[in-house]
């Protein structure tokens, strides 16, 4: 890869960053956050529960964070996939009900201490990526009112709501993937720059193809023609 081609690759990365910035702006302006907040507000009323949260899987860190929740700010709560109810739902791709959590040790203890809330029982259902069984988030409700437990009717209703949410959640998940790929590409470019300096512009065909592949992957993720056809 010569310096001219490297310059073109760097320009394509800048175009990617600009596209991502536009994507972020569009997300903020479409009102999707307002729609998610509406679901968070209405779901506890429908299921006679105290709280509702929408969790998003971060593909970069493998942690799960709150996108929107009752009395919670975005990303104010993060939980690991291991040893957490939300993580178990993501891993198995099926709903889970837990009772008597106030006397059981777990990740919810740490979250309760942080939020000042006491979790007694919980119901969570997976949010799937479109047309696949890949789980990208969890819709969860806490504390059935009236000292009651969540039942099968609650499960089916929450599953229906999760189905309605999946497109909005998928757009957030996609944004995380874009960030991950962009950071990976930036590291590759810095590495290529060092190689070019050290080797005096020697041929680096394998790395050239690898970087071009990453650019193509990013183009597919964005669903836009960001990359010119004459990089080869």
Is residue 189 domain-resident? yes
- So what's the pLDDT on residue 230? 36
Per-residue pLDDT reduced to its tens digit, 48-61 = 999 999 998 876 67
Q: What is the mean pLDDT of the chain?
A: 76
- Cα separation, 83 vs 105, in Å, equals 10
Do residue 151 and residue 74 come from a single domain?
A: yes
Q: Output the domain CATH number for residue 130.
A: 3.30.450.40
Mean pLDDT, residues 94-121 taken together:
90
Is residue 229 domain-resident? no
Q: Which of 153, 176, 199 is the last residue of a domain?
A: 176
**Does 210 score more than 80 pLDDT?**
no
Do residue 38 and residue 146 come from a single domain?
A: yes
Do residue 75 and residue 12 come from a single domain?
A: no
Do residue 70 and residue 141 come from a single domain?
A: yes
Is residue 83 domain-resident? yes
Is residue 48 domain-resident? yes
Is residue 191 domain-resident? yes
Do residue 159 and residue 197 come from a single domain?
A: no
Taking alpha carbons only, the member of 45, 57, 43 closest to residue 138 is: 57
**Does 30 score more than 90 pLDDT?**
no
Helices 205-222 and 152-199 sit at what angle, rounded to 10 degrees? 150
Which element (helix H / strand E) includes 23? helix 3-29
Q: Is the pTM of this model over 0.75?
A: no
Is residue 73 domain-resident? yes
Is residue 187 domain-resident? yes
Do residue 172 and residue 199 come from a single domain?
A: no
Report in angstroms the alpha-carbon separations of 77 from 68, 134, 228: 10, 22, 41
Do residue 48 and residue 108 come from a single domain?
A: yes
Do residue 124 and residue 75 come from a single domain?
A: yes
Do residue 207 and residue 147 come from a single domain?
A: no
Do residue 66 and residue 134 come from a single domain?
A: yes
3-state secondary structure at position 156:
helix
Report in angstroms the alpha-carbon separations of 195 from 14, 153, 190, 191, 204: 21, 61, 9, 6, 9
**Does 203 score more than 80 pLDDT?**
no
Query: How many domains, the chain?
Result: 2
> In this structure, are residues 57 and 201 in contact, taking their beta carbons and an 8 Å threshold?
no
- So what's the pLDDT on residue 107? 86
Is residue 85 domain-resident? yes
Mean pLDDT, residues 161-187 taken together:
69
Do residue 169 and residue 184 come from a single domain?
A: no
Host domain of residue 183: 3-25+178-222
Do residue 14 and residue 53 come from a single domain?
A: no
Is the pLDDT higher at 8 or at 79?
79
> What radius of gyration, in Å, describes the C-alpha atoms of the chain?
22
Q: How many CB atoms lie within 10 A of CB 26?
A: 11
């Amino acid at each position: 890869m010569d310096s001219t081609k490297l310059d073109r690759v760097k320009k394509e990365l800048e175009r990617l960053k600009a596209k991502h910035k536009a994507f972020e702006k569009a997300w903020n302006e479409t009102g999707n956050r307002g729609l998610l907040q509406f679901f968070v507000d209405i779901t506890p009323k429908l299921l006679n529960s105290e709280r509702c949260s929408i969790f998003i899987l971060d593909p970069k860190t493998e942690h799960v964070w709150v996108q929107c929740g009752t009395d919670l700010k975005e990303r104010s709560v993060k939980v690991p996939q291991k040893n957490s109810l939300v993580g178990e739902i993501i891993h198995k791709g099926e709903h889970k009900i837990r009772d008597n959590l106030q006397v059981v040790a777990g990740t919810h203890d740490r979250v309760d201490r942080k939020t000042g809330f006491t979790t007694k029982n919980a119901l969570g259902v997976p949010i799937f990526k479109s047309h696949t069984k890949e789980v990208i988030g969890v819709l969860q409700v806490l504390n059935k009112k009236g000292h009651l437990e969540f039942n099968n009717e609650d499960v089916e209703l929450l599953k229906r709501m999760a189905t309605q949410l999946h497109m909005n959640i998928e757009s957030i998940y996609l944004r995380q993937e874009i960030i991950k790929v962009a950071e990976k590409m930036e590291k590759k470019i810095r590495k290529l720059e060092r190689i070019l300096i050290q080797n005096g512009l020697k041929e680096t065909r394998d790395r050239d193809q690898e970087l071009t592949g990453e650019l193509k992957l990013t183009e597919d993720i964005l669903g836009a023609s960001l990359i010119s056809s004459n990089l080869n």
